[in-house]
Homo-oligomer: A and B are copies of this chain.
Amino acid sequence: MSTPSSDTSLGAGAEFDLIRSMRERWGELAVGIGDDAAVLRPPRGDQLVVSTDTTLENVHFERDWISWREVGYRGVTAALSDLAAMAASPAGVLISLELPRAALDGVSDLADGIGEAVRSAGGKIVGGNVAGGEVFGMTTTVLGFAWSPLTRAGGRPGDLLYVTGALGGPGAAVRAWDAGDKPTALHRIRFAHPVARIAEARWLAARGVVAAIDISDGLGGDAGHLAAASDVAIEVQLDRVPRVAGATEDDAFSGGEEYELLLLARAPLSEAEFAERFGIPLTAIGRTIERGADVRFTRDGKRVAAPAGHDHFSR
């Protein structure tokens, strides 16, 4: 990776060994690692789209919830999901690891999970950093290209609100773990193995979607971000929000780290064609009403209060 520091608690030799062992797991997926910085050639006319995301032990996950492979896969997918939200094609990924000694045995599995996420998104690992640390942490920076990136700000009154997939799985899984229970296999996999909707976003952007956000803070919070950026009042039909089996309305509304897409479209999208192509639902769950950032809610066609805990003005 580009610049491993020599003064960490791991020691320089151990770090280089770690980098070498990860490189071996990655094979041709890792390119150009070893200079001070990575070099990528932008496609002519494309814009560069870049985002960064951190996953920390004891903050974003507990070690007994998921495997090291899942930690790596999930952390990279969370960052890639931001490229999906912009309808960008992933090009390069940089991985910065903070590794306590207790994590060293998991490094091969971690590398395999990182590799799986990068490979499935069609990117390459172009650099990073390894440092000793007291607690496990991974910061993933993703670089993508797009001719015309989708933003959160493209909505206007009269748009339709869509969501990909079915929500509530990650929220239900964390709820089970927090209660000392075991989540269902479906809920667990939605937490441990989310999917960045890269191909879906590009398909949708080519069919009239004008604004998008990935659901990382929860449907309620991210609808608020979309409303604020587009300066529109969004009406969410709570009874139309698709949920995975066994998830509560609150799991689907407040649970974060879904990595599904919340979209505004100027005209109706073909839900059937989307479902057939991608194997997940696309569901109309509301619309934009008027100017002025706001999120409103209906159930069975009647206006209702915001679900408990909803604070869409937190930003």
A75 to chain B, nearest CB (A): 11
- Selecting from A47-55, A234-242, A274-282, A290-298, the interface stretch reads A47-55
The number of times this chain is found in the oligomer is: 2
Could you tell me if A143 and B48 are in contact, using CB atoms closer than 8 angstroms? yes
What chain B residues lie within 8 Å of A16 (beta carbons)? 314-315
> Which of the listed residues A50, A92, A94, A153 has the most CB atoms from chain B within 10 Å of its own CB?
A50
What chain B residues lie within 8 Å of A128 (beta carbons)? 52
Could you tell me if B6 and A256 are in contact, using CB atoms closer than 8 angstroms? yes
Could you tell me if A59 and B3 are in contact, using CB atoms closer than 8 angstroms? no
The answer to whether the Cβ of A96 comes within 8 Å of any Cβ in the partner chain is: yes
With A38-B49, A39-B49, A256-B6: A94-B56 Cβ-Cβ less than 8 Å: no
| A interface SS class | mixed
The answer to whether the Cβ of A126 comes within 8 Å of any Cβ in the partner chain is: yes
Q: Which residue of B is nearest A128, CB measured?
A: B52
Q: Which residue of B is nearest A254, CB measured?
A: B6
Task: Give the interface residue-count category, chain A.
Answer: 35 or more
Could you tell me if B54 and A96 are in contact, using CB atoms closer than 8 angstroms? yes
The answer to whether the Cβ of A85 comes within 8 Å of any Cβ in the partner chain is: yes
With A216-B3, A221-B6: A131-B59 Cβ-Cβ less than 8 Å: yes
Complex CA gap A40/B46 in Å reads 9
8 A Cβ contacts from A212-235 to B:
212-214, 216-218, 221, 229
8 A Cβ contacts from A232-264 to B:
256-257
Choose one: B78, B88, B139, B213; the contact of A52 (CB below 8 Å).
Answer: B139
- Selecting from A29-37, A104-112, A181-189, the interface stretch reads A29-37
**Apart from A12-B314, A36-B213, what are 8 other A-B pairs with CB-CB below 8 Å?**
A2-B51, A6-B218, A7-B256, A13-B314, A16-B314, A37-B142, A50-B143, A96-B139
